């Protein structure tokens, strides 16, 4: 069921999203050759705790998972598409690209049954100087997210987001991952509806409404769109070992358009 957030819920998600964006910017500033993903993990946990939040992903277990997710931060390097844990720690190397995906529950009420609200975001950045192909992939994926978000307006269809993303990516000779999708967010880490990053005719029946919050997250490959599961049981990788990039924002549908809750300056 798609949930509509009220003003109180939106206020808390707005606060949490702003804090999450600030944390993400601090993590990105740490990305350089020689840095270990374990360092980024500790930093993410510390920063989330300092603002009064709780990591969304650490300990998360869906009904489809046999074990819970081990880290707060997902750090997907080069051919890793998404969901790569930061532990065991890996060293970042010159020319790598890394997708940082982070979610937070805010505020976090320790030792009570009261729950906060979830926001989610991701960015892919180069590690030092990278190749022209890798930089183009990052730029195209970022722009695909922006164009998808621009389709958000009450009365528009959910499919307008995915169709726009796919068309732009294809024009730039890249491919959109099809097995993984965006989602609603707020009361839970993942809510309805699924937000596909490609054309799905059935999604023309789903109308965007004021108060919905969507985590829109194009995942784009330099090669083919197919993916495979990693040996760690959590990561997804490109099937052909090509590079992959990932960008995500939590976006509120407003009366006249949209508001990016995880917007960074």
How far is Cα 197 from Cα 219, in angstroms, rounded to an integer?
8
What's the Cα-to-Cα distance from 168 to each of 124, 134, 206, 220, 228, rounded to whole Å?
18, 17, 22, 11, 24
The model's confidence at residue 141, banded by pLDDT at 50, 70 and 90, is: very high
Domain holding 151: CATH number?
A: 3.90.230.10
162-196 pLDDT per residue, tens: 999 999 999 999 999 999 999 999 999 999 999 99
- Is residue 50 situated within a structural domain? yes
- Is residue 265 situated within a structural domain? no
Q: How many domains does the chain have?
A: 1
How far is Cα 161 from Cα 193, in angstroms, rounded to an integer?
13
- Domain extent, residue 232, equals 7-260
How far is Cα 176 from Cα 166, in angstroms, rounded to an integer?
6
- Is residue 1 situated within a structural domain? no
How far is Cα 184 from Cα 178, in angstroms, rounded to an integer?
17
74-122 pLDDT per residue, tens: 999 999 999 999 999 999 999 999 999 999 999 998 888 889 999 999 9
pLDDT recorded at residue 63: 77
Residue 207 DSSP label: B
How far is Cα 59 from Cα 189, in angstroms, rounded to an integer?
12
How far is Cα 168 from Cα 157, in angstroms, rounded to an integer?
18
- Is residue 151 situated within a structural domain? yes
- Is residue 47 situated within a structural domain? yes
- Is residue 2 situated within a structural domain? no
């Amino acid at each position: 069921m798609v949930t509509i957030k009220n003003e109180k819920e939106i206020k808390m998600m707005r606060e949490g999203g702003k804090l999450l964006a600030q944390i993400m910017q601090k993590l990105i500033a740490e990305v350089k050759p020689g840095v270990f993903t374990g360092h980024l993990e500790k930093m993410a946990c510390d920063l989330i705790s300092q603002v009064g939040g709780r990591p969304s992903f650490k300990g998360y277990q869906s009904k489809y998972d046999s074990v819970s997710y081990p880290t707060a931060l997902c750090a997907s390097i080069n051919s890793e598409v998404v969901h790569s844990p930061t532990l065991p720690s890996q060293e970042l190397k010159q020319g790598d690209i890394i997708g940082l995906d982070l979610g937070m529950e805010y505020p976090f009420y320790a030792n009570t049954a009261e729950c906060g609200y979830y926001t989610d975001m991701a960015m892919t950045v180069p590690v030092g100087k990278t190749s022209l192909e890798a930089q183009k992939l990052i730029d195209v994926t970022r722009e695909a997210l922006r164009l998808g978000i621009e389709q958000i307006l009450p009365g528009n269809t959910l499919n307008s987001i995915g169709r726009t993303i796919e068309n732009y990516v294809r024009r730039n000779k890249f491919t959109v991952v099809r097995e993984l999708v965006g989602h609603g967010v707020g009361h839970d880490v993942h809510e309805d509806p699924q937000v596909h990053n490609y054309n799905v005719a059935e999604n023309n029946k789903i109308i965007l409404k004021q108060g919905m919050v969507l985590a829109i997250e194009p995942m784009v490959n330099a090669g083919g769109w197919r993916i495979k599961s990693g040996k760690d049981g959590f990561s997804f990788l490109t099937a052909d070992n090509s590079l992959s990039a990932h960008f995500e924002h939590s976006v509120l549908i407003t009366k006249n358009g949209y508001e990016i809750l995880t917007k960074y300056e």
